[in-house]
Chain A
Amino acid sequence: MSDAALPTAGPPVRRSAPRGSLIGQIFEGLCFAAATTLLLSLGGIIVSLVIGGWPALSKFGIGFLFSTAWNPVTDVYGAAGPIVGTLITAALALALSLPIAGGVAFFLTELCPAPLRRPIGTAVELLAGIPSIVYGMWGLFVFAPLFSRWVQLPLMAAAKPGSLLEKLTSGVPNGSGILPASIILAIMILPFMAATLRELLLTVPAAVRESAYGLGATTAEVVLSVTLPYVRQGAIGAVMLGLGRALGETMAVTFIIGNSHAFPKSLFDSGSTIASTIANEFTEATSPMHTAALVALGLVLFLITFAVLGFARLLLRLRRAG
């Protein structure tokens, strides 16, 4: 992400072979092997996804992306429901967690009393290490009943018949659905983004910040017009990291999203994501077309993630040019 910040490398300098050049050669070889292994496995994954998903892709064509039919009995599959579910939950999760992650990072770097900095920072990093299945179980058994009682029911009761709120809040008030899944996702990606943002903000040279303060800027002004622009590129990278995790998150979402392949009609309606659909059905998919459709879904998720990363790069390039 932040490689753009590095000085551009000129042509490699040719040196005469010094003593110990053998070690150097081995080292170069190992580094090269590591890089190519990465590329090869990436290519291998794409190729095997295309091969595995080909029966479904060739049978349903482009309609695979736009159809909401998902019927293992008749072997007819369309990915529109899971695709939309993936995009909506990831976007909502990002919208919910980004402000909080920013707040945490700014608090830790600018406002937090020094003795508290380390414990809070460590706590944030520990949160990132909780396995997603734990978030899923917690979401289903603890969060869902509370959410249903204190958020869903009051909102549904307050909605006037025919209003937009009523449309957004229709569904079964049992704590499952698109919005609860997005909230769980937001909690999951929060520590990632907060920890990365904090690290980034720490890279801002003290001199830069001190001089802004010296000019009489308030904390808010320093953050918004000095430190944030300074780490802008890395920050976009941090956000994309969070978004990537939200797009691919599987277990936690599976537990709480309600798992319906239809188009979600409201925030409390049940839906599904690409990852949750694969997790749900792959183990017991017996018909070849069913397996192929699930692999094709994986390919779609891969492409979405790819597009998101590409978009981030584009954003960075435009910013730099502008």
Chain B
Amino acid sequence: MLKTLGAAFGAALIVGAATQAFGAGVISGAGATFPQPVYNKWADEYKAATQTSLNYQAIGSGGGIKQIEASTVDFGASDKPLKMADLTANGLVMFPTVVGGIVPVMNLPGFKPGQIKLTGAQLADIYRGAIKKWDDPLLAKTNAGVKLPNLPITVVHRSDGSGTTFLFTSYLSLEAEHWAKEVGANDSVSWPAGIGGKGNDGVAAFVKQTPGSIGYVEYAYAKQNAMTYALMQDKAGQFIAPTAVNFKNAAANAKWTAAPGFYLLLLDQPGANAWPITGATFILMHAKQADAAKGREVLSFFDWCYKNGDAAAEQLDYVPLPANVKDLIRKSWSKIVGPDGKPVYK
């Protein structure tokens, strides 16, 4: 019932948008809110270059998946990758567009960004309420020489379902067995401790207002608000800072070739200076396009973005994909075919 309503609504929107643009092509997409700024920026530049416009509705990853399954949009967008089995079951193809990093931020009066070093296991212990104070001996281990304050830790998490939470809890599950068993990973989970803020700004506000608190936000948010971040331990054992370069390292080192359908969380990737809580955001399309020309239009848009969109992405504090990954994605597009069974993109 809701699905049909949503489908009807979506269809109405598309018809409306189509009549607006005189003759020129219109691509429609819906889904994740996290990449919306960069998609819109790309769409503006693409329209100036080619006359084809993009109508992107940031309705959330869950909505994006539902809309593409109902075929009301040309592509869906999700921060949470779909597993290969889900993709094949729905006849979908998935590929990443940009990379983002998640940054633990704190409110520790007198501390500068990067002064606290954390491991994934410590972060999991903090988030499950096992480490309750900043001067806990467990935290002192990685922070020799730093005088940790005798402050209670207030855990802040996202209250709204979000791809950020999915990545963050996936990372904690990877790093700590107890987290995987007791809490698990999802867009929203049953948090053992702490308070929930709505959106990145909600989390940031609670962290700013609560001395001794720790939260997690997207990189762009931590950077623009100059928040006190923690150094995280990478796979090589080094403590590294959340920077665009370190996110890119994680994306470059990842074994994309071994990931069917690009199902890959860029968590704790090997190699030097790979930020451990990194993730891509994804596009979903039907493997079999009912309209080959439309499918080609969509893929041409993303091809153009991969070629010309890096500067715009970096301006907005997203991390573009490394060149080797972009090539892999273009190759994977051979799986998207028209009604005649031939690839729509050449």
Interface of A with B (CB < 8 Å)? Answer: 48, 51-52, 69-74, 140-141, 144-145, 148, 172-176, 254-255, 258-261, 270, 272, 276, 279-286, 291, 295
Contact = CB atoms under 8 A, between A and B. Distances in A.
- Across the A-B interface, the 3 shortest Cβ-Cβ residue pairs: A283-B60, A284-B161, A259-B159
Interface string B185-216: 11111110011111000100110011001000
B154 interface: yes
Contacts of A73: 183-186, 189-190
Nearest to A140: B205
B113 interface: no
Nearest to A51: B1
Nearest to A136: B198
B2 A284 contact: no
Nearest to A280: B160
A145 B196 CA distance: 16
A284 B196 contact: no
Interface-centre pick from A70, A141, A148, A281 (highest chain B CB count, 10 A): A281
Contacts of B25: none
B161 A70 contact: no
B163 interface: yes
A285 B6 CA distance: 15
Interface residues of B, number: 37
Interface stretch (B13-21, B47-55, B61-69): B61-69
B190 A48 contact: no
Interface of B: 1-2, 5, 33, 59-63, 65, 80, 154, 159-163, 183-191, 194-198, 202, 205-206, 209-210, 213
A72 B198 contact: no
A281 B160 contact: yes
A145 B194 CA distance: 18
B195 A284 contact: no
Contacts, number: 109
Given A280-B161, A283-B59, A48 B2 contact: yes
Nearest to B157: A259
Given A52-B2, A254-B198, A259-B196, A174 B209 contact: yes
20 contacts: A52-B2, A70-B190, A72-B161, A72-B190, A73-B189, A141-B205, A144-B209, A173-B210, A174-B154, A174-B213, A258-B196, A259-B198, A280-B159, A280-B196, A282-B60, A283-B161, A284-B61, A284-B161, A284-B187, A284-B188
Contacts of B189: 71-73
Nearest to A254: B198
A286 to B, nearest CB: 4
A97 to B, nearest CB: 24
A291 B82 CA distance: 18
Given A258-B196, A270-B196, A283-B62, A176 B162 contact: no
Contact of A145 (B59, B62, B209): B209
Given A284-B163, A286-B65, 5 more contacts: A73-B184, A260-B195, A283-B59, A283-B61, A283-B161
Contacts of A255: 197-198, 202
A291 B63 CA distance: 11
A259 B195 contact: yes
A21 B210 CA distance: 71
A291 B2 CA distance: 10
Contacts of A260: 191, 194-196
A72 B187 contact: yes
A172 B1 CA distance: 42
Given A174-B206, A285-B62, A254 B80 contact: no
A296 to B, nearest CB: 13
Contacts of A285: 62, 161, 187
Given A283-B161, A284-B163, A172 B195 contact: yes
A300 to B, nearest CB: 17
A52 B187 contact: no
A172 B156 CA distance: 11
B184 A295 contact: no
Contacts of B190: 69-74, 261
A283 B184 CA distance: 20
A176 B195 contact: yes
A150 to B, nearest CB: 13
Contacts of B197: 255, 259
B38 to A, nearest CB: 19
The residue in A70, A148, A285 that gathers the most chain B C-beta atoms within 10 A of its C-beta is A285
A250 B213 CA distance: 26
Contacts of B63: 283
Contacts of B59: 283
Contact of B161 (A174, A281, A295): A281
A148 B191 CA distance: 23
A62 to B, nearest CB: 21
